[in-house]
Structures are given as structure tokens and as C-alpha cells.
Amino acid sequence: MTATAIEVNCATGEVTERSLTAAEIAEREAMAAEYAAQKAQEEAEAAAKAAAKQAAQDKLKGLGLTDLEIAAITGA
Amino acid sequence: MPNTYQVISSVTVGSGGAANIQFTSIPQTYTDLILQVSARTDEAGANWSEGRITFNGSSSGYTNRYVLGTGSATSSGSVGTAYVYGGRGTAAAATSSTFSNSYIYIPNYASSNNKSISTDEVTENNATAALAFFNAGLWSNSAAITSITITPNTGNFVQYSTAVLYGIKNS
């Protein structure tokens, strides 16, 4: 799909479809790269959080707590 | 519909999709603006895409503060300074033919004061993963708003996505 911009001129009502300018393409690429980095960071943080939660639950189990008791104190 | 709430312009994306939607030459004869967006994007593997709004082609001076719920979690945060949030789209992994709804209010858009913006957005999905999102934003700029650009953070708006710009008068 070729990237196009839709421009609506509110004064005339004219709607124009045009190719993106070089500046718009550069901005779009930067935005996509920023988003990919942000998404990777969020996924890494979520994975670390899930791993820490599992490790904590395993330690509680090692102390002899049941699943029900673990859920009661962690809300999990 | 009161006569103080008038459609300025509207657009529906065609079969070729759109990388962004721009309203230009916005008349300065209203008090406030309302932008309503119903959108879907082609971002693969995602249930929703961010929508980003900029004014007058500017990519600086913006701040945001948001709260959101995803169906399984909630969070809040802030982001800036290149855009304000608005015009989010349901994305390709969500139930087909579902679209988001965004209601964006921009008071005193023609004034020489900084411009506030509030956004209320939901995406649709016949599953748990759907987003409810509220944002308060500010564009610290004295220029009157004459153009608005709505851009998905990645990918394109797909066919039948729509944006309608309304003008609000106080009399």
C-alpha cells in the first residue's frame, strides 16, 4: 500500500489524496521506530514482572503455602 | 442538533488507506472544535494503534496525561512533546470490521493562549483486549489552530475510517 495523506480543505470542502512528502515519510519512519522500541520495552517489562511473580509464588510454595493461601495473600 | 454544533468537514478513507488525515484552512469563526474519529488501522498483531494529533504542522510543545484500561490492566502516565493523543484506531488483530470511537474536544482553538485538548477513546474487539483511554493534553503555543493532522503511530488508516470536524459556537 502506497502511503498517502488525505487532506481536507475546510474552506473549500475539497478533499485531496496525495503522496507523503519526504519530511512526512521521515517522520513516519521515526515514529514507527520509536513505537517499536517502546513496545519492546513494554514487553520486556511485562515479561520481567511475570517472571518475578512466578519466582515469588515458587518461593512461597517452597515455604509450604498452598495455592489457595498464596492467592489469599497475593490476590493472584 | 443545535445550530451551534455544526459540521465543518468530514472525510471517509478510501480503498487505498491513508497514512494520515489532515484538516486544513479551519475557519476561525467558532469557539471550540470537536473532532470525532472512527478508525481502524492495518497494524499487524495489535488490537489497537495509537492515534497522534498535531496542530499547524508543529511537532513540539505538547504534553499529555492519560489513564487507560486494556480489559486486563489499567495504567496512567504522561508523554510528550511531539504530539497529543487522539484518533486511536482498532487494529488488525481485533475482530474484523470493528472500528474505534474517539471524541476529541478542543476549546478556544482560535485564541492566543495555550490550547488544551481532551480525548475520550475506545477501541472495539469481540474479545477481552480492547482499550478505553482518556487523555488531557496541552499544546503550549499562542498560534490559532488552522490545521489538524491525525496519524496512527504505525501503519495506515484503512478504508471506511472516518473523521468529522465540528465547530461549536457559544451563541
Closest in B23, B151, B154 to A10, CB measured: B23
pLDDT tens per residue across span B105-153? 999 999 999 999 999 999 999 999 999 999 999 999 999 999 999 999 8
Mutate to test the interface with A, among B8, B10, B20 (most CBs of A within 10 A): B20
Residue A10 to residue B18, Cβ atoms within 8 A: no
Cell of A30: 521515526
**pLDDT, tens digit (0-9, with 9 covering 90-100), for B30-80:** 999 999 999 999 999 999 999 999 999 999 999 999 999 998 889 999 987
Closest among B16, B8, B4 to B156, alpha carbons compared: B16
Query: Is the CB of B154 less than 8 angstroms away from the CB of A32?
Result: yes
Burial-class residue B71 by CB neighbours within 10 Å (0-12, 13-18, 19+): middle
d(CA B90, CA B95): 9
Q: A35, B13: Cβ pair inside 8 Å?
A: no
Phi-psi region of B63 (alpha: psi -120 to 50; beta: other; left: phi over 0): beta
Taking a contact as any Cβ pair under 8 Å apart, which residues of chain B between 136 and 155 contact chain A? 151, 153-154
Chain A CB contacts of B6 below 8 Å: none
Residue B99: strand, helix, or coil = coil
3-state secondary structure at position B102: strand
Please indicate whether, in this complex, the C-beta atoms of B8 and A10 are within 8 angstroms of each other. yes
What are the distances in angstroms from CA B15 to CA A7, B45, B162?
16, 21, 12
pLDDT tens-place string over residues A18-72:
999 998 888 888 888 888 888 788 889 888 998 999 999 999 999 999 999 999 9
Q: Do B19 and A32 touch (CB under 8 A)?
A: no
Closest-CA residue in chain B for A8? B23
Question: Domain residues of chain A, as ranges?
Answer: 4-74
pLDDT at B1 over 50: no
Distance CA A45, CA A51 (A): 10
Residue B95: pLDDT band (50, 70, 90) is very high
Whether the Cβ atoms of residue B72 and residue A50 lie closer than 8 Å to each other: no
A7 and B156 within 8 Å at the Cβ level: the answer is no
CB pairs under 8 A between A and B: 68
CA distance A64 to chain B (A): 30
Confidence of residue A74 (pLDDT cuts 50, 70, 90): confident
Asked if B18's CB is within 8 angstroms of A5's CB, the reply is: yes
Peptide bond into B29 cis (omega under 30): no
Closest of B121, B104, B119, B125 to residue B168, by C-alpha: B104
Interface test with B, best of A2, A4, A8, A43 (most B CBs within 10 A): A8
Residue (of A24, A44, A65, A71) closest to B59 by Cα position? A24
Q: Taking CA atoms, what residue in B is nearest to A27? A: B59
Partner-chain contact B24 A8, CB within 8 Å = yes
Match domain B5-168 to its CATH number in 2.60.120, 2.40.50, 3.40.50, 1.10.10: 2.60.120
C-alpha cell at B87: 484518533
* Predicted local distance difference test score (pLDDT) of residue B89: 95
pLDDT of residue A3: 84
ipTM value of the model?
Answer: 0.90
**pLDDT score of A76:** 64
